[in-house]
């Protein structure tokens, strides 16, 4: 695989608008993700993040606006195929009826791009890249949440992508595995030069890995910039989202338990 | 309802257009054939044995009373191959296989497996629907052949052993041979092919349009089975009229 930083593609979104049953979910969104950039879209649940991602990958059609990959519209499947776009789903999206190796090699085997021996070699290589050696014959149901996510990333890498979308890559993971996954995203972005778009509500992940962050709320970007710019943003909703924590009013100190005589 | 009918027809059209891809999906077709056969053959034989038997038991004594017991083979033979085997096997397959197809594809839809296929540029119609539709279209007529033969055996057993009917095995077979022609069996097989396509298309369409988590999967399975049975009975009338007209 070519590790040149020029491998990524440029993604441009212009005036993207979508409503469901008359309820607007995306409102006139416009932004650009540069080649090789790690762009994070964050926002609270129900802000439209996953809907936006589905439009970017071509699974949904917008009511208005356009999405361009290197200047070509995303709609036709050939555009996604030509620019080798991959996606890592929130649940992993692994096919439960296939083993780990069959899942990872699915793109190559279904499109008959390589002979079986070559597919086995590529699958082993991608699994090793993500620290999953020896899991080839296991079933998705036997894997932990973190392993499923890493298998899903391995499956995405087999496409040799120029653009990867990650949907909530650290959800349902404990903090240690979440950090491991975050490091993997950065390493793959640096090593392979892939343009990466990460959708998450994990603030630590966003500020830890992003080149730029967009904060989505009620279908609109309230803030878009470098992590430092977003952190310093004055919008009260952005500040509330970024600074919400578990600091409750302290309880009165309990009475000391009287000692036994 | 009209929305569902439209979607089933669209899916059927897409699957028919994908038929030239069948050879590429050969392994999946074989897997599906094995699953259908494995899940249904024993039950199909058991069901057919008793249907043939009950048919002989219900009609035999009445015929015998009127001295027409030599028609029993003909009645069992024709009923099994023209009507009972195709319809009963189709209902059985709708319940056992149609429900499993809708549940499997429905859960793949809910758990984003089908979205994952699309992002890998794999067409879900080629990957999921085509092998299932081809397999069920091969399996149901095959099951109907088994059902007809076993139904005849069931009818013969009852006709020979029941004292009210009192016909010899030779007499039963002769009556059956005189009354049943190859075209009667072919009629039954053509009907069952139509039923198979309907069951496969309805089950896959319901699976693909599943929304809303585990409850949605349950809803899709129920709709797949109920719609299939209704369509089987409607198509049965249409096919019967059509085949009678052609006869």
- Is the pLDDT reported for residue B6 higher than 80? yes
Residue of B119, B122, B124, B128 for testing the chain A interface, max A β-carbons within 10 Å: B119
DSSP state of A92: B
- Is the pLDDT reported for residue A223 higher than 70? yes
Higher-confidence residue of A172 and B110: namely B110
- Is the pLDDT reported for residue A161 higher than 80? yes
Total count of domains within chain B:
1
Q: Radius of gyration of chain B from Cα atoms?
A: 20
Domain assignment present for residue B193? The answer is yes
- Mean pLDDT of the region B131-144: 94
- Is the pLDDT reported for residue B22 higher than 80? yes
Distance CA B52, CA B59 (A): 11
Residue with tokens 């059985």: B92
Sheet holding A163-167, edge to edge: A85-88, A163-167, A195-200, A38-42, A212-217, A220-225
Q: So what's the pLDDT on residue A5?
A: 41
At A224 the three-state DSSP class reads: strand
Q: So what's the pLDDT on residue A76?
A: 65
Q: So what's the pLDDT on residue A144?
A: 86
At B33 the three-state DSSP class reads: helix
Residue of A87, A105, A160 for testing the chain B interface, max B β-carbons within 10 Å: A87
Token readout for B135 is: 């397999």
Residue with tokens 């890995």: A209
What is the tens place of the pLDDT at every residue in A44-87?
877 888 889 889 988 888 999 999 988 888 876 666 667 788 88
- A72 contacts: CB under 8 Å, gap ≥ 6: A79, A82, A83
Residues of B in contact with A91 (CB under 8 A): 111-112
Residue B233: give the domain boundaries.
2-8+48-246
Distance CA B134, CA B196 (A): 9
Residues of A in contact with B111 (CB under 8 A): 91, 93, 96
- Is the pLDDT reported for residue B37 higher than 50? yes
The ipTM estimated for the assembled molecules is: 0.79
List residues of chain A with CB under 8 Å from any CB of chain B: 54, 57-59, 77, 80-81, 85-87, 89-91, 93-97, 106-107, 110-112, 152, 155, 159
Chain A residue with the nearest C-alpha to that of B108? A95
Domain assignment present for residue B22? The answer is no
Distance CA A92, CA A156 (A): 10
**Please, which pLDDT band fits residue B53 given cuts at 50, 70 and 90?**
very high
**Please, which pLDDT band fits residue A255 given cuts at 50, 70 and 90?**
low
Domain assignment present for residue B176? The answer is yes
- B184 contacts: CB under 8 Å, gap ≥ 6: B77, B78, B81, B82
- Is the pLDDT reported for residue A187 higher than 80? yes
Domain assignment present for residue B117? The answer is yes
**Please, which pLDDT band fits residue A2 given cuts at 50, 70 and 90?**
very low
Contact B121 A81 (CB under 8 A): yes
Specify whether the CB–CB gap between B99 and B224 falls below 8 A.
yes
Chain B residue with the nearest C-alpha to that of A88? B116
H or E segment to which residue B52 belongs: helix B26-65
Q: Tally A–B CB contacts below 8 A.
A: 51
What is the tens place of the pLDDT at every residue in A224-251?
999 999 888 888 888 888 877 776 666 6
Residues of B in contact with A152 (CB under 8 A): 116
- B58 contacts: CB under 8 Å, gap ≥ 6: none
Token readout for B235 is: 């198509």
Higher-confidence residue of B4 and A14: namely A14
Q: Which of residues 172-231 of B touch A (CB under 8 A)?
A: none
At B95 the three-state DSSP class reads: helix
What is the tens place of the pLDDT at every residue in B182-235?
888 999 999 999 999 999 999 999 999 998 888 899 999 999 999 999 999 999
Contact A59 B118 (CB under 8 A): yes
- Mean pLDDT of the region B20-42: 88
Domain assignment present for residue B26? The answer is no
Distance CA A13, CA A18 (A): 13
CA dist list (Å): B195 to B88, B93, B132, B200: 11, 10, 14, 9
Residues of A in contact with B105 (CB under 8 A): none
Contact A90 B112 (CB under 8 A): yes
Domain assignment present for residue B39? The answer is no
CA dist list (Å): B165 to A191, B58, B223: 85, 10, 43
Higher-confidence residue of A261 and A178: namely A178
Domain assignment present for residue B139? The answer is yes
Specify whether the CB–CB gap between A40 and A213 falls below 8 A.
yes
Domain assignment present for residue B42? The answer is no
Residue with tokens 């917008």: A62
Q: So what's the pLDDT on residue B127?
A: 92
Q: So what's the pLDDT on residue A81?
A: 67
């Amino acid at each position: 695989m070519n590790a040149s930083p020029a491998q990524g593609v440029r993604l441009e979104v212009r005036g993207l608008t979508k409503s469901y049953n008359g309820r607007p979910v995306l409102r006139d969104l416009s932004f650009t993700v540069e080649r090789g950039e790690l762009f994070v879209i964050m926002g609270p649940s129900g802000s439209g993040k996953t809907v936006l991602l589905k439009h970017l990958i071509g699974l949904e059609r917008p009511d208005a606006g356009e999405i361009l990959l290197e200047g070509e519209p995303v709609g036709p499947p050939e555009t996604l195929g030509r620019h080798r776009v991959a996606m890592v789903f929130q649940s992993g999206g692994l096919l439960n009826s296939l083993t780990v190796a069959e899942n990872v090699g699915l793109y190559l085997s279904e499109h008959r791009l390589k002979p079986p021996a070559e597919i086995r070699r590529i699958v082993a290589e991608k699994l090793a890249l993500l620290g999953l050696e020896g899991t080839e014959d296991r079933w998705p149901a036997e894997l932990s949440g973190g392993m499923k996510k890493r298998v899903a990333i391995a499956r995405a890498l087999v496409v040799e992508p120029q653009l990867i979308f990650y949907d909530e890559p650290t959800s349902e993971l404990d903090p240690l595995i979440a950090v491991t996954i975050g490091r993997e995203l950065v390493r793959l972005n640096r090593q392979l030069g892939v343009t990466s778009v990460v959708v998450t509500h994990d603030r630590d992940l966003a500020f830890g890995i992003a080149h730029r962050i967009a904060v989505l709320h009620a279908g609109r970007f309230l803030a878009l910039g470098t992590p430092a710019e977003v952190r310093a943003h004055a919008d009260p909703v952005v500040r509330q989202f970024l600074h919400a924590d578990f600091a409750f009013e302290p309880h009165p100190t309990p009475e000391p338990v009287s000692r036994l005589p | 309802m009209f929305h569902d009918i439209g979607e089933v027809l669209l899916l059927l059209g897409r699957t028919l257009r994908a038929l030239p891809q069948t050879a590429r999906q050969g392994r999946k077709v074989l897997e599906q054939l094995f699953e259908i056969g494995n899940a249904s053959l024993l039950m199909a034989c058991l069901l057919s044995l008793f249907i043939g038997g009950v048919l002989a038991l219900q009609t035999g004594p009445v015929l015998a009373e009127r001295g027409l017991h030599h028609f029993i083979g003909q009645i069992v033979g024709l009923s099994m191959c023209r009507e009972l085997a195709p319809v009963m096997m189709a209902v059985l397959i709708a319940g056992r296989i149609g429900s499993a197809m809708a549940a499997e594809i429905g859960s793949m839809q809910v758990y984003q497996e089908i979205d994952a296929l699309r992002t890998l540029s794999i067409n879900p119609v080629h990957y999921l629907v085509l092998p299932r539709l081809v397999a069920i279209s091969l399996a149901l007529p095959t099951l109907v052949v088994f059902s007809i033969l076993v139904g005849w055996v069931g009818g013969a057993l009852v006709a020979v052993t029941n004292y009210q009917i009192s016909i010899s095995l030779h007499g039963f077979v002769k009556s059956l041979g005189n009354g049943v022609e190859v075209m009667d069996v072919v009629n039954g097989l053509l009907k069952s092919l139509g039923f198979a396509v309907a069951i496969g298309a309805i089950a896959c369409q319901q699976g693909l349009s599943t929304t809303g988590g585990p409850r949605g999967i349950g809803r899709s399975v129920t709709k797949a089975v109920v719609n299939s049975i209704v369509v089987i009975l409607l198509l049965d009338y249409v096919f019967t009229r059509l085949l009678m007209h052609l006869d």
